[in-house]
């Protein structure tokens, strides 16, 4: 039990905070190397704790990894020969190996989460929540006192990455908190934080959390979205200087000059390209920005000297999935969308800490999928995979032998 608690707590900390730290320190330009190091480090810790001879990888997991490996390879080879496009095979292979490592890493952490009891799990979640809260307060204080105007937040290279990690922890407390007054106080704090940090994603995140928390309220479920849409429409057409930051980002028109809005529209354009231009086949794993047409919005971004901005990630994961895997990306996304109601129901079913937290992560993935993502190798994606493995609970994928438990 103690070993599992140590591995889970340490693993979660390095997965959430190491990748962004390396970017902030200018040691790398993406989260991939950070997740690679996190995976190797955690594997080394697990082997050490398990006395080497007792460390095993089950046949079930090997089969699972092989299916993923050969699917991506065969799909990429198919793209190469069917469309005669130049693929970056070195990037493909390196990324594929990283996928396999991350899958092993997240499966290990999901298993440790199963082993530890609910109370110790809650202590880990509280510990990380305190770190995130302090990080937010310190960052805002530095900005308000003009100590630092940097977009980075110590362990996160930009506010959106921090917010994506923060939201499931916040939803967890909103669900577990019985007092409605305390829930609204938490929402109020988040709204103030959103305004101070100037993040559209944070605003959408607060709206999303309110909707999920009060999902079974008829007003919130049906009337609240209409009110939100009217407010955002008003903000988008407002000339008020206070709303200018937000209006420029939610005004999604072809004559926009805001880079955030243009990148987001480019992402949806590349969804269209990924389906129609590839005949539903996609352009290959990790080939966004390398293979296939770029689209009109990318041309506008190039004209604004923003050629590389979100070129390879589409600005949200759905764009990248569909562009690279075509109809398969659409189907996977549809399965996720169809499961949302089920997980909201589970979330409100008076469940234990583990179920509530991992359901919160699963649901908050919606924002990463459709609003703001950074590709496959981000801390939040790793957290999502841990939740999927945990909630699935498939024993065939066990990594440790029974002797190590």
CA 393 centroid distance within chain = 21
> How many angstroms from the chain centroid is the CA of residue 265?
19
Smallest CA-to-CA distance from 18 within 158, 157, 168 is with 157
Which residue blocks in 239-288 are alpha helix, DSSP H?
244-250, 259-276
Give the residue with greater pLDDT, 275 vs 255: 275
Residue 299 has pLDDT above 70, yes or no: yes
Pinpoint the alpha helices (H) of 147-179: 159-176
What's the confidence (pLDDT) of residue 239? Answer: 65
List, in order, residues 6 or more apart from 104 with CB less than 8 Å away.
Answer: 39, 43, 57, 61, 65, 399
Tokens 């944070």 sit at which residue?
Answer: 202
What is the rounded CA–CA span in Å between residue 221 and residue 212? 9
Please check the confidence at residue 403 and state whether its pLDDT lies above 60.
no
Enumerate residues 6+ apart whose C-beta is below 8 A from 18.
Answer: 34, 35, 37, 38
At 177-208, the pLDDT tens digits run 877 888 888 888 888 888 788 788 888 999 99
Q: What is the DSSP letter of 153?
A: B
> pLDDT for 210-222, tens place per residue?
999 998 888 888 8
pLDDT at 149: 67
**pLDDT, tens only, 6-44:** 889 999 999 999 999 998 888 888 888 989 998 888 888
209 pLDDT exceeds 90?
yes
Q: Is the pLDDT of residue 317 over 90?
A: yes
pLDDT in tens, 55-84: 456 677 788 888 888 999 998 888 888 877
- Token pair for residue 120? 């110790």
Q: What CA–CA distance (Å, rounded) separates 186 from 299?
A: 42
Higher per-residue confidence, 109 vs 374: 109
Q: Which two tokens stand for residue 315?
A: 């600005």
Question: pLDDT band at 46, cuts 50/70/90?
Answer: confident
Residue with tokens 């080879």: 77
| Residue written as token pair 């390398």 | 290
Question: What Å distances lie between residue 265 and 201, 248, 310, 358, CA to CA?
Answer: 15, 13, 12, 31
| Percent helix, percent strand, percent coil in the chain, to nearest 5 | 75, 0, 25
Structure tokens at 360: 């919160």
């Amino acid at each position: 039990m103690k070993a599992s608690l140590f591995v889970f707590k340490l693993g979660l900390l390095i997965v959430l905070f190491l990748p962004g730290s390396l970017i902030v320190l200018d040691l790398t330009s993406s989260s991939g190397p950070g997740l690679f190091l996190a995976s190797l480090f955690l594997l080394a810790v697990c082997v050490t704790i398990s006395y080497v001879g007792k460390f095993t990888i089950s046949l079930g997991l090997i089969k699972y990894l092989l299916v993923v490996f050969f699917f991506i390879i065969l799909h990429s080879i198919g793209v190469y020969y069917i469309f005669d496009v130049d693929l970056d095979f070195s990037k493909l292979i390196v990324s594929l190996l990283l996928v396999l490592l991350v899958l092993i890493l997240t499966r290990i952490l999901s298993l440790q989460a199963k082993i530890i009891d609910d109370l110790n799990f809650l202590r880990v979640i509280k510990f990380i929540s305190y770190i995130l809260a302090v990080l937010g307060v310190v960052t805002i204080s530095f900005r308000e006192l003009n100590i630092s105007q940097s977009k980075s937040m110590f362990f996160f290279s930009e506010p959106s990455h921090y917010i994506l990690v923060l939201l499931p922890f916040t939803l967890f407390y909103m669900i577990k908190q019985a007092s409605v007054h305390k829930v609204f106080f938490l929402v109020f704090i988040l709204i103030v934080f959103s305004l101070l940090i100037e993040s559209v994603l944070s605003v959408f995140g607060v709206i999303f959390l309110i909707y999920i928390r009060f999902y079974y309220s008829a007003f919130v479920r049906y009337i609240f979205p209409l009110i939100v849409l009217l407010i955002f429409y008003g903000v988008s057409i407002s000339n008020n200087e206070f709303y200018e930051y937000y209006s420029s980002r939610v005004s999604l028109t072809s004559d926009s000059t805001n880079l955030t809005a243009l990148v987001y529209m480019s992402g949806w354009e590349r969804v269209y390209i990924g389906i129609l231009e590839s005949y539903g086949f996609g352009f290959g794993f990790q080939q966004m920005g390398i293979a296939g047409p770029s689209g009109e919005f990318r041309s506008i971004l190039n004209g604004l000297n923003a050629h590389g901005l979100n070129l390879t990630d589409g600005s949200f994961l759905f764009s990248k999935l569909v562009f690279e895997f075509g109809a398969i990306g659409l189907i996977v996304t549809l399965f996720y969308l169809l499961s949302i109601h089920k997980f909201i129901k589970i979330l409100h079913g008076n469940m234990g800490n583990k179920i509530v937290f991992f359901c919160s992560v699963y649901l908050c993935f919606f924002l990463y999928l459709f609003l703001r993502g950074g590709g496959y190798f981000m801390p939040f994606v790793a957290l999502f995979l841990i939740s999927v493995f945990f909630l699935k609970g498939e024993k065939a994928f066990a990594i440790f032998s029974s002797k190590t438990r």
